[in-house]
Amino acid sequence: MPNFALKTDGSSARDVEKKLRKYLPGLDVRLWPFSPTQAIIRAPLVRALEVEYPNIGAGPLLKVLGVADIRAVSDEETLALPSGRDTDLLPALPKAAVALTKTAGLDWHLDLVRAPAAWQLLGGPDNIAWGDIKVGHIDTGYTRHPALGFPDASWIDVANARTIMPPPGASEASMFPVEIGQGIDNLDGVSGGHGTRMASTISGYAPGAPGGAFYGVAPKVPLLPLRITDIVWINHAQRQFGEALRYAVEEVGVQVVNVSLGVFAAVVLDAMKDAINEAYDAGVIVVCAAGNHVNSVVAPARLTRTVAVGGITRDRTPWAGSSYGPEVDFSAPAADLRRASTERGDRFGYGGGGDGTSYATAITTGAAALWLVHRRAEITTAYPEPWQRVAAFAQLARETAKPPTVWNPGAFGTGVLDIEALLTRPLPAAADLRKDEPA
């Protein structure tokens, strides 16, 4: 079912969204405006109107809500229209959508996935002994943000960090900024700073941060940043992805890799598939984002041998921007998150508005690191084949994820990630694990 572009009768898109919320209580009904009176509405919301109001129909009801016209749009338009919007013409997000909710002094998403309870199993967020656990992070690179321990005592593996960017053509070289190298994000491109935001969600640690203590899910876990892109869609960088993943696994020896990136509506190259297959065989957990705004799950999340993560809101409802489908293993917070951010001129901050399955993926990557360090000795003893630790993590995470009262396991996985339950659930026997077919 396609998404739709709507045009209002002169009302603002935000007013239509407010009215829609009344008719679909319990759902995340966000629209994605690309002008003051035009927006993308996701297919599941139109379908929900059809199901809930069969005697009226979605079209007539939307007219009552202030929609003058609606048309089906392709995935390409779904992505292109909001990204090309004029932000000066659009109203600011309502405060309720960006409020920074905290529980017991911690950001809401940590409490929802039970990260604080998991930390206590390891001595608390200040005292986790990571040993040889290291996370690979394939993204836009990193900046020297205080949430990552800079400038004094960072856990970022700057010595092994790499920039593996697709080279521009000879005629295009002058159009692109010079790369700094060593995995550093130059903050150019559509997704500048994305790598820092995800790194902070994985491994951040800043107890004295403005606005209150800031923690990633796996505080201070050693992290290897690999810059392969300046945009989260990596159709053009699949070979660089494969090179980065092989480097992280074979030369640096990471145990988990975060992939908050996606290949949209394109052929998945063998370079990507082969690297994922090799990582799986080496026992490396590759955690991938289901995708944003397009309906089908993107690669590499849709490939076998990866862990695919969908997105939810603070109300434990599916996030309106999340891709969905049977490939999703489970879901995690993906809307209105507080995260570390960097602007040009080394301006570092913390703010709300973090949206995307990228965040759900980073949260899950942190959970995988916590599981590996907590059950380290047992995992080594229980699983003679390296791939078995990947299969065990995926199985346990699915089994311990908590489904909300209203849930669609065929679209958003088995439920919502519960890290404490993941860490305390007995390991499955090696004989009971199934090896995934190659990607």
Task: Between 173 and 103, name the one with better pLDDT.
Answer: 103
Residue 172, pLDDT score? 57
pLDDT given for residue 1 in this prediction: 75
Contact 422, 400 (CB under 8 A): yes
Alpha helices in 171-237 (DSSP H): 194-203
**The domain at 3-87 falls in which architecture?**
2-Layer Sandwich (3.30)
Residue-level pLDDT at 9: 96
Q: Which of 159, 110, 162, 156 is nearest to 139 (CA)?
A: 162
Q: Which two tokens stand for residue 343?
A: 């602007």
What does the pLDDT read at residue 265? Answer: 80
Rounded CA separation 137/297 (Å): 20
Residue 346: the pLDDT is: 87
Measured CA to CA, the distance from residue 182 to residue 186 in angstroms comes to: 11
Domain boundaries, the chain: 3-87, 100-432
pLDDT at 104 > cutoff 70: no
User: Are 3-87 and 100-432 equal in CATH topology?
Assistant: no
The 10s digit of each residue's pLDDT in 255-298 is 999 999 999 888 999 999 999 999 999 999 999 999 999 999 99
Instruction: Using the predicted structure, report yes or no on whether residue 347 has a pLDDT greater than 50.
Output: yes
Comparison of pLDDT for 397 and 351, the residue scoring more: 397
pLDDT of amino acid 83? 77
Q: Architecture of 100-432 per CATH?
A: 3-Layer(aba) Sandwich (3.40)
Q: What is the pLDDT of residues 301-344, one digit of tens each?
A: 999 999 999 999 999 999 999 999 999 999 999 999 999 999 98
- Residues 58 and 46: beta-carbon distance below 8 Å: yes
> Which stretches within 204-309 are classed as H helix?
238-246, 270-281
The per-residue pLDDT for 85 is: 65
CA angle in degrees (0–180, nearest 5) for 148-365-238: 95
* Residue among 369, 371, 417, 413 at smallest CA distance from 397: 417
CB-CB contact of 331 with 312 (8 Å): yes
User: Residue 359: what residue type?
Assistant: Y
Is residue 98 over pLDDT 50?
A: no
What is the rounded distance in angstroms from the CA atom of residue 50 to the CA atom of residue 276?
40
Is pLDDT of 97 > 50? no
The secondary structure of residue 362, as a DSSP letter, is H
pLDDT at 177: 74
User: Positive or negative, the Cα torsion across 252, 253, 256, 259?
Assistant: positive
Please provide the distance, in angstroms rounded to a whole number, between the alpha carbons at the two ends of the chain.
Answer: 26
In the chain, the amino acid numbered 285 is I
**Tokens standing for residue 263:** 């290949």
pLDDT digits (tens, 9 = 90+) for 46-88: 999 999 999 999 999 999 999 999 999 999 999 988 877 665 6
Residue among 421, 327, 437, 436 nearest 389 (CA): 436
pLDDT at 94: 44
Q: Is the previous residue joined to 91 through a cis bond, with omega within 30 degrees of 0?
A: no
Task: Using pLDDT thresholds of 50, 70 and 90, give the confidence band for residue 389.
Answer: very high
> Picking from 7-11, 95-99, 214-218, which range would have the lowest pLDDT averaged per residue?
95-99
Helices 270-281, 387-400: crossing angle, 10 deg rounding = 90
CB 351 within 8 A of CB 212: no
Q: For the chain, what percent of residues have pLDDT higher than 90?
A: 85
306, 439 contact by CB (below 8 A)? yes
**Confidence grade of residue 375 (pLDDT, cut at 50, 70, 90):** very high
Please, which residues bridge with residue 332 across strands?
311
Per residue in 155-179, pLDDT (tens digit) is 999 999 999 997 766 555 556 677 8
Q: Are 364 and 397 in contact (CB under 8 A)?
A: yes
User: Cis omega before residue 151 (within 30°)?
Assistant: yes
Taking residues 135-157, what's their average pLDDT? 97
Spell out the residues 6+ positions from residue 397 whose beta carbon is closer than 8 angstroms to its own. 307, 329, 330, 364, 367, 417, 422
Q: What is the pLDDT of residue 166?
A: 78
